[in-house]
Amino acid sequence: MPTFDYSEFPTLRTERLVLRELRGSDAEDLFAVRSDPYVQRYNSVPHTDVSESAEMIERLTELFAKHEWIHWGVALRENDKLIGLYSLGWNEGHRRAEIGYDLNRAYWGKRLASEALGAMLAFAFDVLEVNRLEAQTIADNHESTRLLRKFGFQLEGVRRGYSLEEDGEFHGGAIYGLLRSEYEGGQA
């Protein structure tokens, strides 16, 4: 059985990134991610003030304290600048987790999303010993679906007309899953 007990925040390191605990001082950098209408077009209403991002950091920190979710601030190793937010909600009893991710658009196309996701998947499978990871995304969010497929996630279904988005259209909600046996079979 997994031994993770939430007593200490799990910091993850990659070649170029640190996935770390969010801090109040990250509010402006988080605002840069959460206020971008293009990044948030299939996620949530964009933030309009940095105070919303500061409040979000407080809420996400509380979820970790309640042992419900882990929200990592994705920061550059070179200067600790926050460029994204990755999350994992773990159901210990069923040994599964749900993941989510946001990355500042200025850092797209540099393989940083893949680098951060790879670290989070290794943590989920190796430390938490999950059997299943899943991600929910809008089917038309091609950046997100491409990232998931790259790591072997399989489309398990689309809930038609699931989400009314900023473009005024209803979009299908796609569910992707990755099993431990598929993960161990090789990664991107």
Question: Crossing angle for the helix pair 50-65 and 27-34, nearest 10 degrees?
Answer: 100
pLDDT in the model for residue 167: 81
Measured at the CA of 104, the angle between CA 102 and CA 109, to 5 degrees, comes to 95
Per the structure block, which two tokens stand in for 88?
A: 């994992």
Domains in the chain: ranges and CATH = 12-183 (3.40.630.30)
Ranges 23-32, 33-42, 131-140: which has the least confidence: 33-42
Full-model pTM: 0.92
Can you tell me the mean pLDDT for 127-141?
95
Backbone torsions φ then ψ of 116, nearest 5 degrees: -70, -45
pLDDT in the model for residue 160: 97
Contacts of 179 (CB under 8 A, 6+ apart): 131, 132
Residue 187 has pLDDT above 90, yes or no: no
Over its C-alpha atoms, the chain yields an Rg (Å, rounded) of 16
Confidence bin at 173 (pLDDT 50/70/90):
very high
**Each residue of 47-105: pLDDT tens digit?**
999 999 999 999 999 999 999 999 999 999 999 999 999 999 999 899 999 999 999 99
